[in-house]
Amino acid sequence: MVLDRPGVPLRLAELPLPQASPGNILIEVEACGVCRTDLHLVDGELPDPVLPMIPGHEIVGRVCAIGSGVSGFRLGERVGVPWLGWTCGRCEFCARGRENLCEQARFTGYQIQGGYAEYTLADARYCFPLPEEGDPASLAPLLCAGLIGYRALSMAGDSHRVGIYGFGAAAHIVAQVLRFQKREFYAVTRRGDAASQEFARNLGAAWAGSAEETPPAKLDAALIFAPAGDLVPAALRHLERGGCVICAGIHMSDIPSFPYSILWGERAIRSVANLTRRDGEEFLAIAAKVPVRTEVRPFALEQANEALAALRRGELQGAAALLVHA
């Protein structure tokens, strides 16, 4: 499924089979998650994409060819491909273990052809081994929703009461990690979204309501997954002194002005940028211990536009994934 230009539907296309070039592995895709970042790409909210582009960066598949210079993978092994698809390895950020901030980084389904396809080519350095058993569609959201949620949660430190703003794919995964760690989470959804609030309660939320309501306790941290800038001052107003608001999306509408008084008291605002390979290794290990169970609505590959539309309308509880051989 190919994006020719932002603002138009993806088209189904027959393309040549990629070849396993040096340093890369060829992957036969089993499933690919449908992420809000894909929606930002298709809607033209991300700058300068490579076009035409095959979206998709929550890829689960099997190694079917190995390029020269690659070690550590075997034919038939199940692997996952995340958003971060390549870095230079030489800049100041890469040298300090902050490869997520590499200025030359390239991203899967944005500058590197992604996983809305039967086959994809990926840099072996940025692929993760995945469990051989299990439903590939259930694993797919771990590769971005899970990873970004984990990185956002890491920025919250040892916070005990954590607000989650926007209860979608990332939120329903990080909620399970919080419950496993015996921390409280408070779910904040759009006004009137009773289904998402009930979904959050079923996952163990201490409270679920809308951004216009006041949680029953001050929050030590707030994780914002919804791309709405007006949630930043809303979250600040419910934050305990010394707490942090963490903006976890790659795109967000403008943050409105707010009084300094709601930031004062050593409150902070941070953003999350991409992920590191270490994030992936740590999160996948934790996800297996919890164990994380994802709620996934499956779509066939050729239904990618329908899946994106359902995400845009806020109709999904949890995540969506494309099944390549449905």
pLDDT of residue 325: 82
Same domain, 263 and 156: yes
Domain span holding position 115: 24-133+295-323
Q: Does some domain include residue 108?
A: yes
How many alpha carbons lie under 13 Å from residue 303 in its C-beta half-sphere? 17
For residue 2, the one-letter residue type is V
Q: Does some domain include residue 206?
A: yes
- Tell which phi-psi region holds residue 203, choosing left (phi > 0), alpha (psi between -120 and 50) or beta: alpha
Q: Does some domain include residue 114?
A: yes
Q: What are phi and psi of 73, to 5 degrees?
A: -125, 155
- Tell which phi-psi region holds residue 248, choosing left (phi > 0), alpha (psi between -120 and 50) or beta: alpha
Give the β-pairing of 219-224 and 161-165: parallel
Distance CA 319, CA 196 (A): 12
Give the largest Cα separation in the chain, rounded: 58
pLDDT of residue 235: 98
% residues pLDDT > 90 (the chain): 97
Distance CA 263, CA 245 (A): 10
Six-digit token string for 138: 């259930």
Indicate the number of domains in the chain. 2
Six-digit token string for 19: 């070849």
Q: Which helix (H) or strand (E) holds 310?
A: helix 304-312
What mean pLDDT value characterizes the chain? 96
pLDDT of residue 326: 65
The predicted-structure confidence for 88-98, as pLDDT tens digits, reads as follows 999 999 999 99
Is the separation of the CB atoms in 163 and 188 below 8 Å?
Answer: yes
Contacting residues for 257 by C-beta, under 8 A, at least 6 apart: none
Place of tokens 């306790």: 217
Last residue of a domain, one of 229, 256, 271: 271
DSSP 143: G
Domain at 257, CATH number: 3.40.50.720
Same domain, 127 and 153: no
Question: Is residue 221 scored above 90 in pLDDT?
Answer: yes
Q: Is the pTM of this model over 0.75?
A: yes
The predicted-structure confidence for 100-135, as pLDDT tens digits, reads as follows 999 999 999 999 999 999 999 999 999 999 999 889
Same domain, 183 and 238: yes
Six-digit token string for 325: 């051989």
Q: Does some domain include residue 71?
A: yes
pLDDT tier, 45 (very low <50, low <70, confident <90, very high otherwise): very high
Q: Which helix (H) or strand (E) holds 283?
A: helix 277-289
Distance CA 182, CA 170 (A): 18
Q: Which helix (H) or strand (E) holds 308?
A: helix 304-312
When pLDDT is averaged across residues 175-200 and rounded to a whole number, the result is 96
Distance CA 290, CA 21 (A): 37
Q: What are phi and psi of 17, to 5 degrees?
A: -70, 125
Same domain, 45 and 119: yes
Same domain, 65 and 114: yes
Q: Does some domain include residue 4?
A: no
Q: Does some domain include residue 8?
A: no
When pLDDT is averaged across residues 211-240 and rounded to a whole number, the result is 97
When pLDDT is averaged across residues 62-71 and rounded to a whole number, the result is 97
